[in-house]
């Protein structure tokens, strides 16, 4: 029995997708629910599973094509009989199998390839088994593929006997001048579009402050072992900053608002977006109703979303919405930056590296763990006074964490 493999129903906000890579070829057997093809939308990579065990009869769409909901991608000959018939046919073509190490390598390492890395491996006809993965359990990232390509193209030259150089000889001009031209992914193009949109439509300003994290560090040091033992997750900075941001948003509701045409929408809930850097670009998964979450629930959710985003398994629904965003450039060593708004939100909080600095405390100079905070806001609905007071509220909550418990 022949079955049509179709593009799944895409969310309302997504009109089409790009077919990134097929994982099966005509004549190959597949198991039920085995991933057949990757589709890339503006935000996520979708996997299309096999609806039944069988053999791929025909591929209707090529890599790189644009597809829409319900479009037929392939024809699958379903049934165990089809699978059994496919096995001797595959065995009778050893020469063909030997001529295609790329397909074998992709099958062996496909589970360890990030979506962006998988695309580069197939575009450059690489053997994935020869690429060293730097991720968890040997997972291969886009950066690993780029490093592998650079090693192939710019290998070390053989050593030769040294010769005296003429007195007037000039040093050689530069080294390797290799270049790579890689198409921008849909996600990267969408990110670029949204950043330009934010800069061209919002009246963005950034205000700064600094926070002394002495008390937060003391709490984390005092309770980290008990917290991890009780909750199965580490006590990090994320939960403190998200809790502090929520309390500040309660005091200044305009910072938690959004713009819809000529209307200001004041949200009476707190869906906090947490920016996550991935090989494919920046993603912002959303903690729904974060005001109802405990410290442990926030830490667990942030960790789970970060893992899913980097592995390419996060869903579009988990990236949709949000009333306020928190981003942490400090994990990369950034001391200060000006984050860009995530429309239609009107504010974003930037965290940075914790740096020990001499500070005057009660007339004495003491070394304190300090962090610069940045709040970028849309001046159309958030005034300078509100933005400054918002950051002060976060500063006060973190320097005296008891405020978070008492909601002061």
Q: What is the pTM of this model?
A: 0.65
Burial of 363 (0-12, 13-18, 19+ CB in 10 A): exposed
> Where in the chain are all domains bearing CATH 2.40.50.100?
1-92
> Where in the chain are all domains bearing CATH 3.30.559.10?
200-406
Average pLDDT over residues 297-301: 95
Selecting among 212, 260, 279, 379, the annotated active-site residue is 379
The radius of gyration computed from the CA coordinates of the chain, to the nearest angstrom, equals 26
> Where in the chain are all domains bearing CATH 4.10.320.10?
102-152
Tens digits of per-residue pLDDT, 342-373? 888 999 999 999 999 999 999 999 999 999 99
Q: For this structure, is 383 an active site residue?
A: yes
CATH topology of domain 102-152: Dihydrolipoamide Transferase (4.10.320)
Of 65-69, 83-87, 197-201, where does the model show the most confidence? 65-69
CATH topology of domain 1-92: OB fold (Dihydrolipoamide Acetyltransferase, E2P) (2.40.50)
Q: Sorting pLDDT into bands at 50, 70 and 90, what band is 280?
A: confident
Q: For this structure, is 144 an active site residue?
A: no
pLDDT of 136 reads 60
pLDDT of 182 reads 77
Tens digits of per-residue pLDDT, 17-50? 888 889 888 999 988 888 888 888 876 778 888 8
pLDDT of 192 reads 81
Residue 109 and residue 130: Cα distance in Å, rounded?
Answer: 10
Q: 143 φ, ψ to 5°?
A: -60, -35
Q: CATH for 200-406, among 3.40.1550.10, 3.30.559.10, 3.40.50.10800, 2.60.40.420? A: 3.30.559.10
- Please determine, for residue 109, whether its predicted confidence score (pLDDT) is greater than 80: no
Q: Which of 81-90, 313-322, 386-395 has the lowest mean pLDDT?
A: 81-90
More reliable by pLDDT, 152 or 325: 325
Selecting among 144, 260, 352, 383, the annotated active-site residue is 383
Is 157:176 a contact under the CB 8 Å cutoff? no
Query: Three-state SS across the chain?
Result: CEEEEECCCCCCCCCCEEEEEECCCCCCEECCCCEEEEEECCCCEEEEECCCCEEEEEECCCCCCEECCCCEEEEEEECHHHHHHHHHHHHCCHHHHHCCHHHHHHHHHHHHECHHHHHHHHHCCCCHHHCCCCCHHHCECHHHHHHHHHHHHCCCCCCCCCCCCCCCCCCCCCCCCCCCCCCCCHHHHHHHHHHHHHHHHCCEEEEEEEEECHHHHHHHHHHHHHHHHHHCCCCCCHHHHHHHHHHHHHHCHHHHEEEECCEEEECCCCCEEECEEECCEEECCEECCHHHCCHHHHHHHHHHHHHHHHHCCCCHHHHCCCCEEEEEHHHHCCCCCCCCCCCCECEEEEECCCEEEEEEECCEEEEEEEEEEEEEEECCCCCHHHHHHHHHHHHHHHHCCHHHHHCC
pLDDT of 241 reads 95
Q: Sorting pLDDT into bands at 50, 70 and 90, what band is 396?
A: very high
Q: What's the mean pLDDT when you consider all of the chain?
A: 82
More reliable by pLDDT, 371 or 102: 371
pLDDT of 155 reads 47
pLDDT of 168 reads 59
Average pLDDT over residues 123-136: 77
Q: Sorting pLDDT into bands at 50, 70 and 90, what band is 106?
A: very low
Tens digits of per-residue pLDDT, 302-345? 999 999 988 888 888 898 889 999 999 988 899 999 999 988 89
Sheet holding 45-49, edge to edge: 45-49, 35-40, 17-22, 66-67
Tens digits of per-residue pLDDT, 195-219? 888 888 889 999 999 999 999 999 9
More reliable by pLDDT, 283 or 116: 283
pLDDT of 102 reads 44
């Amino acid at each position: 029995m022949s079955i049509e493999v179709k593009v799944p129903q895409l969310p309302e906000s997504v009109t089409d997708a790009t077919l990134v890579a097929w994982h099966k070829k005509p004549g190959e057997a597949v198991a039920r629910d085995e991933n057949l093809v990757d589709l890339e939308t503006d935000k996520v990579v979708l996997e299309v599973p096999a609806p039944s065990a069988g053999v791929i009869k025909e591929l209707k769409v090529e890599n790189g094509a644009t597809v829409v909901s319900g479009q037929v991608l392939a024809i699958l000959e379903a049934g165990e009989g089809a699978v059994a018939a496919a096995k001797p046919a595959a065995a009778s073509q050893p020469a063909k199998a030997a001529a295609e190490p790329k397909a074998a390598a992709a099958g062996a390492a496909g589970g360890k390839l990030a979506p962006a890395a998988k695309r580069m491996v197939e575009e450059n006809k690489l053997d994935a088994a020869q690429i060293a993965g730097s991720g968890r359990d040997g997972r291969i990232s886009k950066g690993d593929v780029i490093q592998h390509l650079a090693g192939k193209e710019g290998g070390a030259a053989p050593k030769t006997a040294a010769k005296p150089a003429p007195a007037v000889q000039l040093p050689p001009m530069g080294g390797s001048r290799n270049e790579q031209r890689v198409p921008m992914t849909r996600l990267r193009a969408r990110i670029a579009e949204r950043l330009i949109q934010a800069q061209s439509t919002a009246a963005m300003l950034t205000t700064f402050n600094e926070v002394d994290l002495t008390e937060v560090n003391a709490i984390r040091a005092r309770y980290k072992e008990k917290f991890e033992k009780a909750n199965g997750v580490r006590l990090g900075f994320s939960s403190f900053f998200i809790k502090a941001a929520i309390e500040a948003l309660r005091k200044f509701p305009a910072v938690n608002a959004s713009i819809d045409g000529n209307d200001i929408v004041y949200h009476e809930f707190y869906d906090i977006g947490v920016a996550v850097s991935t090989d494919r670009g920046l993603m912002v998964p959303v903690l729904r109703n974060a005001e109802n979450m405990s410290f442990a629930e926030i830490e667990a959710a942030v960790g789970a979303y970060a893992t899913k985003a980097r592995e390419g398994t996060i869903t579009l629904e988990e990236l949709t919405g949000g009333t306020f965003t928190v981003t942490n450039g400090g994990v990369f060593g950034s001391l200060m930056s000006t984050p860009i708004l995530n429309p239609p939100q009107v504010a974003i909080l930037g965290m940075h590296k914790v740096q020990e600095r001499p500070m005057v405390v009660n007339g004495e100079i003491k070394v304190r763990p300090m962090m610069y905070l940045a709040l970028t806001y849309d001046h159309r609905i958030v005034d300078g006074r509100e933005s400054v007071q918002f950051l002060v509220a976060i500063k006060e909550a973190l320097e005296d964490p008891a405020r978070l418990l008492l909601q002061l």
